[in-house]
Structure 1
């Protein structure tokens, strides 16, 4: 197998002694993990200790068995000098390179190289790559057991740490042994959080100094005989650090100071190096001066380096370095790692690097950056050298940053921002350069969610921009930054100012008009004005032949018509937007937003199967076209599944959203609204299932989020409804009425579907004798139903409210018949409950009992324990019970029968050997949702691995496949 698909232990960049001393208990832990891996059981191990204590060597020694039994071993080492490179160590560890013969790895590399930020929503490119890397490991584990090692993890970049965390979450489900090797004392918060998380779900091994017996054994192995008293005393000064012991004893051997009996002359002590750096210099002293200088130059390039890069920096042909490279390998300073070279131990590079004066290092980094740039090296390699040089202001560097800004922004926005700001903080003689740098910086800050800084830099760029394209784009950045920061009025003012500019290019005029329509709806709620602006934007977009502005304008029209409840027109607008966008990957974010909008509208039209079909299609989009929509996709699915009564699946979607929110986050949610919806749906389900501790936790988290924007209000309805439900459960129905009444009056331009919650308001208000609140709820529902085109969900809710208020079984029968015909099942169950209570109140006990049984049957399928209690109590007050059928047994919580239909299908697919990404593709789920289902299966079956799941699924046969 090629080096791109298997990173053999024989080429690992670590020091692995032939004979091991001590560490028996620690090695036993690692050997046990390797043994479990062979049985399909994954685990997480964190190895920590001071530099040179033997962490990497011990891991390598333990993994020999893994290599020999056919496991894939992937090893990457983070580098302090270049820790700002996004995903750097993980890309290296997983061998993701453009030239990889593995198409999966090549595809990820191409994505990172070629992708550009979008216009509609900020692209989280690193987040997409994280998903792709986790999926790559998942697929690799399906092919064969895999070990992933991240050495010097304390230097890993933030995105790589998140990949490690995500793999740690998945390790219990896969034949994956995940090992982090960490030097103690770095103090990074993210690393501390990872270490704490490992302690909860895995094993932490802390390596201390070797004891005196083990040090003596190590020295004996090095010199071939037991050490004498002087040598023993000297070795003790290494404080039990095996690397220091090895280097210092090796220095004695090179100087021929160790006698045949292992004795050391006392007079020799004055010449013995007492530090690792001194020992290393002593080792370098035996090398030719040219070779030693080459090695010091190599330390500028990081822990791993290519001979071609070293040759470029030294300005010599690569062939002239052959002898020097061989000398360093023979001296045990450098090892070969695939197509690259690596320092045998990070401390070797660190000592060489820090042995040079800081001013010299800075100058050499600057020269290295220029040399690499002139050879056309990867811009990120050049950028790393420029950052290390910390010498802004040179003409060539400023010009290079200006020329490559767009590439750097796409691949490493954090690095791009630092380089751009460094150059801009110095006087720039060339205004064109300053303009280019400002444009790139403003664009990048916006994509990173740093809105205030983006607005400031955009204004600076507008003061300089002479090129119309740059001028227009900076207006776009400024207005989006202001709006995203909550300054709606100034955002509208900025857009109007831009539209008044006579030189505004036609394409940007169309885009800014489309943006203005969105702002008008959100800020003033003037739907007519927003419609007029959107139609103007659509015409301008058609004239400019710009897909983006046309689709954006159509989405504006979808939104305003949805607010008006003209869902038929809204669907035509969103479908036209999708037709305009077609399959263009440049506007992937707007396309996924449009698909979510289509799902929403199909729900309002009660075309539930078509809504599911659209959601499934949305999830067929490849990961690189569905990056920033992972969270919204899960929330869209959860809301749909809630109304359909598939609450287990809805909770799996919501749990998947939280995978990145545990212990460590990378980007997180930039807006409050989606997180309100996440907590609201979860709180509603858990409270209806009488799981109050979980419901209260979600309510606390959701209610702590301030409602400051129209988006916040539109996403808070589930949260408020769940809050009202818990108040009712706590015996405070008056509070429930007050909470639900707060949703009665929608603000101008607000989308919130209040009719969904009004029947409950009528029911509770009547229970407490608040007739005026019940009447107000009916009137509000009638208003929504009157606006609804065509009559659908609001009309059915109106009938239900009317039936409750007037105690009219006919109106409730009409609503129930409607839900039986078109769905969904959750409001059907509630309507049947209301009908049963109304019938019982009018004395029709026989029909009331039949309807009660149907309602309870539906509630049981949802697991709605609280609803069952409530309806039985309502009917009991009228003397109606379920009769001979009695109560159903509670749903099992353990064993095969506890699995949901979806979980059984997942189990069957695991038995077929499918990977998580493949299961996600086949079931139209997100990869993280499948991972959540697998976690639930393991818990219910009390199992530890997918191998055990597969055996159980095969034992159940057809029952597993059918769900």
Structure 2
């Protein structure tokens, strides 16, 4: 198990003792409504059939009673005989990706995973995804015969990778008897936590805990005292602010300091005394322990909530015998608890108070010793990096290298935390020439977290201390990051690096490849041509294979959009050959490796595209590369849509969009899977699906990178609803770029969009605009005379614009014979009817279009054609779907395994598909059969049998 992902055993990520030490000893006061909400989520999970269960998040200040409510949930689950998993991250858990979560899985009751299960996963690529899948499968198995409760305390300390995993698990297990009860502090939240909290809020599951009422305060005091409190104690209780922890502290302090006395059936404070250990904070309580005890608590606080006595003694350079009285004192006054293997602060406020009592100078010195001990005990650099930053001075070589290592360790799991550490490391390296080269490696880490301005400023600071080659390579790394956000800035950065003297040929070639990619994305084809020529002029084909592969792929996109299909195919074939020759697998070369499949689908060859995709998917799955698999799925949903396999395309698109919730797929997923999901919903007339995916398309339309794809997709909806003015407004930027060698509507282009746009322009009477679409289609067909799909699209566009029914019939015949784009074939038949064909030919065209739409399940399109037929006096009933046709073949395969109790992973393995695809199929099965859970599904099938 690599150090970067080793569970943080010191922090005890499944520390049940911290959740009130098992069954509560005293009644819970003032929390009846909150407890009802918690127990209701367990009840909902137990039924897991009437409606999906939702998580509950308890939110409040320290001491407000969150942990006690979690203990009540655990006690209730144990009474039910459930499996319980408790996750209790520590203050440093953010530096150990998946640490607290995996440890909880190892130490659950019973354990969900074994170290043998985890070791290969954590050592491989994309551990976050694979751990999530393993946990999902383990939780499914555990929930197959009884309920499961997952409790997470101190959610605010959980690392970003675990937060994303938890969010995914909650979504994917909603139809299982799995209950989630979470707790976090109020206040500002990190981005990953904020997203999870927003999801819980969306399900109405947040419980904000306020101070308890006066009656509850009195009842709690009575429970602790054994009799009602007297006037003196009642007055003292006013100082607690009705915070349960402070009420407990007050009463226990009075008892321990012998300040209680019975009076008239009550218990009161002697002379209205207040215990010395009680104050507005735990800091005042610590002020009354001995200096030796305080020192032990202070050192322990620097380790975290839980620490080993041996480690603290090493820092103090004391023997166990010498510190025994101090430890006994801390245990006696319940500042620390001892479970036999380690010590833990009874409450987080006590640990924080002990830390706060340290002076700045002493804290820095002790922190260094604590870090040394923690590293020597095997903790990863990322776990201690925050502590190092707190005590490091500029120029400190040991601290710089440790924080730098930690930033690089975290980069793949938590971009935000990695950037924070990377920024700190760069500050430690500032104006120290010998650190400059290593510090420059951190610039991409800043860019990955969206801190571009800071990265550029750091690059400028480091530049005077870098050798020319180092500086150029650092700028190259920045430029690669910039291509994801700003093509102009990427080009500027490449130009800055190319202007540096004495840079190697290999680095210049890499820079020109990135520059070419940015020019192509920007659609600056004059600069693209110049850059490509310069790259090819200096590149060494025997040494620069990877860079030249990107150059070939970039030029292939340009050639394709310039209507030179044959040369585009030759270039991408050359690129793939270069990649394979360089030792890489083309199926894992992302995103360039996807281009060949995208291009064939655009050219009206979806079957060829699907063959390429299937090969890519097989390679990605064999390599356990989830990102590559997701990218291939994006191409696959487009190819399935182009092939007219609407239900399959929808399932694949939903799978990608589900994956996009767990992986950083960005606009690429939206522009492919999101667009396909939206188009399929239009064809099916599925209003619910449209509403679900519309926010994704709206974000695209309002963005900057693939705006045209988003706006054109919304224009398709406007056309479908006959809102032609809206469609014209939404298609404005697409119409403005028809003459440019770039995709004006979707990325990659769908030639059939030309027919849709031409039909819109004819309907609104825009003759000039319609003529420009004809010109575009004619240029494509003329440049590729052997390409039947391009010729058919040209005939269809010209026929619709000119009212040439012969051209439309020719296009329909070509598409019918090819049988590769059935939706386009039906669209051409509708255009033939609208373009003035005689009544007989119009009816024939519409009836053929109806047959195509019905065979594809395009319900909305079929209804539109039926309406047109009725207007022509033809009465046809809609095709009735039989019960056997309600579910697709794949859905029936999934259903057969669901009813046997197979888990998602088991079904995926049996059918050779991804778990996310199984989840998408399962959701569709639920929707079609009118059930909410697997339990309901099994009951329905048994009743049917």
Q: Is the 8 A contact 2:512 2:535 kept in 1?
A: yes
| Residue in structure 1 matched with residue 181 of structure 2 by the alignment | 179
Q: Is the 8 A contact 2:56 2:181 kept in 1?
A: yes
2:882 is the counterpart of 1:886:
no
Specify whether residues 630 and 250 from structure 1 end up closer, same or farther in structure 2 by C-alpha distance, changes over 3 A only: farther
1:945 deviates by 2.2
Once residues 279 and 777 of structure 1 are traced to their aligned partners in structure 2, the CA distance between those partners, rounded to angstroms, is: 75
Higher deviation after alignment, 645-654 or 242-251: 645-654
Specify whether residues 349 and 765 from structure 1 end up closer, same or farther in structure 2 by C-alpha distance, changes over 3 A only: closer
Q: How does 1:354-753 map to 2 (within 5 A)?
A: 354-358=356-360, 360-373=362-375, 377-389=379-391, 391-401=393-403, 406-407=408-409, 409=411, 413-422=415-424, 424-425=426-427, 430-437=432-439, 439-466=440-467, 468=469, 470-480=470-480, 483-484=483-484, 486=486, 488=488, 491-492=490-491, 495=494, 498=497, 503-522=502-521, 524-526=524-526, 529=530, 532-533=533-534, 535=536, 540=540, 542-544=541-543, 548-567=546-565, 570-571=568-569, 573-574=571-572, 577-578=575-576, 581=579, 591-620=589-618, 621-622=620-621, 626=625, 628=627, 632-633=631-632, 635-655=634-654, 675=670, 680-690=675-685, 702=697, 712=706, 715=709, 718-719=712-713, 722=716, 725-726=719-720, 728-730=722-724, 741-742=735-736, 744-747=738-741, 753=749
From 130, 154, 166, give the equivalent of 1:132: 130
| Residue in structure 2 matched with residue 860 of structure 1 by the alignment | 854
Specify whether residues 816 and 305 from structure 1 end up closer, same or farther in structure 2 by C-alpha distance, changes over 3 A only: farther
From 149, 171, 179, give the equivalent of 1:169: 171
Once residues 187 and 511 of structure 2 are traced to their aligned partners in structure 1, the CA distance between those partners, rounded to angstroms, is: 51
Once residues 679 and 175 of structure 1 are traced to their aligned partners in structure 2, the CA distance between those partners, rounded to angstroms, is: 31
Once residues 275 and 324 of structure 2 are traced to their aligned partners in structure 1, the CA distance between those partners, rounded to angstroms, is: 32
From 104, 109, 123, give the equivalent of 2:122: 109
Q: How does 1:1-40 map to 2 (within 5 A)?
A: 11-16=17-22, 17-22=24-29, 23-40=31-48
Q: Secondary structure at the match of 1:174?
A: coil
Once residues 39 and 825 of structure 1 are traced to their aligned partners in structure 2, the CA distance between those partners, rounded to angstroms, is: 45
Once residues 417 and 728 of structure 2 are traced to their aligned partners in structure 1, the CA distance between those partners, rounded to angstroms, is: 56
Once residues 599 and 99 of structure 2 are traced to their aligned partners in structure 1, the CA distance between those partners, rounded to angstroms, is: 42
Q: Is the 8 A contact 1:13 1:335 kept in 2?
A: no
Q: TM-score, normalised by structure 2?
A: 0.82
Could you tell me which runs of 5 or more consecutive residues in structure 2 were left unpaired when the two chains were aligned. 1-6
Q: Is the 8 A contact 1:571 1:598 kept in 2?
A: yes
1:195 deviates by 4.5
RCO comparison, higher one (Cα < 8 Å, 6+): 1
Q: TM-score, normalised by structure 1?
A: 0.80
1:337 deviates by 7.6
Q: Is the 8 A contact 2:381 2:405 kept in 1?
A: no
> Alpha carbon RMSD of aligned pairs, Å?
4.8
Describe the superposition over 1:858-902 as per-residue Cα deviations: whole angstroms up to 9, x where unpaired: 32355545533543455566x352x4x43345x79xx99765555
2:301 is the counterpart of 1:299:
yes
Specify whether residues 311 and 279 from structure 1 end up closer, same or farther in structure 2 by C-alpha distance, changes over 3 A only: closer
Q: How does 1:810-829 map to 2 (within 5 A)?
A: 812=809, 815-829=812-826
Describe the superposition over 1:910-933 as per-residue Cα deviations: whole angstroms up to 9, x where unpaired: 324343345456666665554444
Describe the superposition over 1:71-126 as per-residue Cα deviations: whole angstroms up to 9, x where unpaired: 332222345566576666545544599x9843443345334xxx6xxxxxxxxxxx
Q: Is the 8 A contact 1:147 1:177 kept in 2?
A: yes
1:567 deviates by 4.4
From 930, 936, 941, give the equivalent of 1:948: 936
Q: Secondary structure at the match of 1:132?
A: helix
1:151 deviates by 1.2
1:940 deviates by 4.7
Q: Is the 8 A contact 1:49 1:207 kept in 2?
A: yes
1:380 deviates by 1.3
From 51, 55, 70, give the equivalent of 1:59: 70
Once residues 210 and 33 of structure 2 are traced to their aligned partners in structure 1, the CA distance between those partners, rounded to angstroms, is: 12
Higher deviation after alignment, 593-602 or 81-90: 81-90
| Residue in structure 2 matched with residue 344 of structure 1 by the alignment | 346
Q: Is the 8 A contact 1:231 1:263 kept in 2?
A: no
Could you tell me which runs of 5 or more consecutive residues in structure 1 were left unpaired when the two chains were aligned. 116-127, 958-963
Q: Secondary structure at the match of 2:896?
A: helix
Q: Is the 8 A contact 1:96 1:109 kept in 2?
A: no
Specify whether residues 903 and 335 from structure 1 end up closer, same or farther in structure 2 by C-alpha distance, changes over 3 A only: farther
Once residues 140 and 133 of structure 1 are traced to their aligned partners in structure 2, the CA distance between those partners, rounded to angstroms, is: 10
Once residues 710 and 726 of structure 2 are traced to their aligned partners in structure 1, the CA distance between those partners, rounded to angstroms, is: 21
Q: Secondary structure at the match of 1:275?
A: coil
Once residues 529 and 615 of structure 1 are traced to their aligned partners in structure 2, the CA distance between those partners, rounded to angstroms, is: 33
Once residues 897 and 822 of structure 1 are traced to their aligned partners in structure 2, the CA distance between those partners, rounded to angstroms, is: 23
| Residues paired across the two proteins, number | 918
Q: Is the 8 A contact 2:260 2:269 kept in 1?
A: no
Once residues 321 and 657 of structure 1 are traced to their aligned partners in structure 2, the CA distance between those partners, rounded to angstroms, is: 58
1:835 deviates by 4.8
1:507 deviates by 3.9
Q: Is the 8 A contact 1:49 1:184 kept in 2?
A: yes
Q: Is the 8 A contact 1:150 1:179 kept in 2?
A: yes
Specify whether residues 735 and 192 from structure 1 end up closer, same or farther in structure 2 by C-alpha distance, changes over 3 A only: closer
1:386 deviates by 1.9
Q: Secondary structure at the match of 2:932?
A: coil
Specify whether residues 785 and 684 from structure 1 end up closer, same or farther in structure 2 by C-alpha distance, changes over 3 A only: same
Once residues 297 and 354 of structure 1 are traced to their aligned partners in structure 2, the CA distance between those partners, rounded to angstroms, is: 11
Q: Is the 8 A contact 1:908 1:954 kept in 2?
A: no
Describe the superposition over 1:413-460 as per-residue Cα deviations: whole angstroms up to 9, x where unpaired: 5445444544554785641113422x0332322333433433343344
Higher deviation after alignment, 500-509 or 40-49: 500-509
| Residue in structure 2 matched with residue 45 of structure 1 by the alignment | 56
Q: Secondary structure at the match of 1:543?
A: coil
1:144 deviates by 0.6
1:272 deviates by 1.6
Describe the superposition over 1:40-69 as per-residue Cα deviations: whole angstroms up to 9, x where unpaired: 464311223443233212222332342465
Once residues 411 and 737 of structure 1 are traced to their aligned partners in structure 2, the CA distance between those partners, rounded to angstroms, is: 39
Once residues 308 and 772 of structure 1 are traced to their aligned partners in structure 2, the CA distance between those partners, rounded to angstroms, is: 84
Describe the superposition over 1:363-410 as per-residue Cα deviations: whole angstroms up to 9, x where unpaired: 433443355456664111331212333654445423544566644555
| Residue in structure 2 matched with residue 759 of structure 1 by the alignment | 755
1:555 deviates by 2.2
Describe the superposition over 1:305-342 as per-residue Cα deviations: whole angstroms up to 9, x where unpaired: 35565455435689998997687567644456897653
Once residues 220 and 734 of structure 1 are traced to their aligned partners in structure 2, the CA distance between those partners, rounded to angstroms, is: 73
Higher deviation after alignment, 85-94 or 641-650: 85-94
| Residue in structure 2 matched with residue 871 of structure 1 by the alignment | 865
Describe the superposition over 1:846-865 as per-residue Cα deviations: whole angstroms up to 9, x where unpaired: xx545433311332355545
2:815 is the counterpart of 1:807:
no
1:650 deviates by 3.8
Higher deviation after alignment, 915-924 or 318-327: 318-327
2:152 is the counterpart of 1:150:
yes
Describe the superposition over 1:569-615 as per-residue Cα deviations: whole angstroms up to 9, x where unpaired: 54455455456556999889962424422321231454433423443
Once residues 412 and 769 of structure 1 are traced to their aligned partners in structure 2, the CA distance between those partners, rounded to angstroms, is: 54
2:69 is the counterpart of 1:73:
no
Specify whether residues 292 and 167 from structure 1 end up closer, same or farther in structure 2 by C-alpha distance, changes over 3 A only: same
Describe the superposition over 1:219-248 as per-residue Cα deviations: whole angstroms up to 9, x where unpaired: 455455665665566556545443333333
Once residues 848 and 742 of structure 2 are traced to their aligned partners in structure 1, the CA distance between those partners, rounded to angstroms, is: 40
Once residues 89 and 408 of structure 1 are traced to their aligned partners in structure 2, the CA distance between those partners, rounded to angstroms, is: 15
Q: Is the 8 A contact 1:446 1:477 kept in 2?
A: no
Once residues 329 and 572 of structure 1 are traced to their aligned partners in structure 2, the CA distance between those partners, rounded to angstroms, is: 76
Specify whether residues 340 and 532 from structure 1 end up closer, same or farther in structure 2 by C-alpha distance, changes over 3 A only: farther
Once residues 565 and 797 of structure 2 are traced to their aligned partners in structure 1, the CA distance between those partners, rounded to angstroms, is: 22
2:782 is the counterpart of 1:786:
yes
Specify whether residues 453 and 15 from structure 1 end up closer, same or farther in structure 2 by C-alpha distance, changes over 3 A only: same
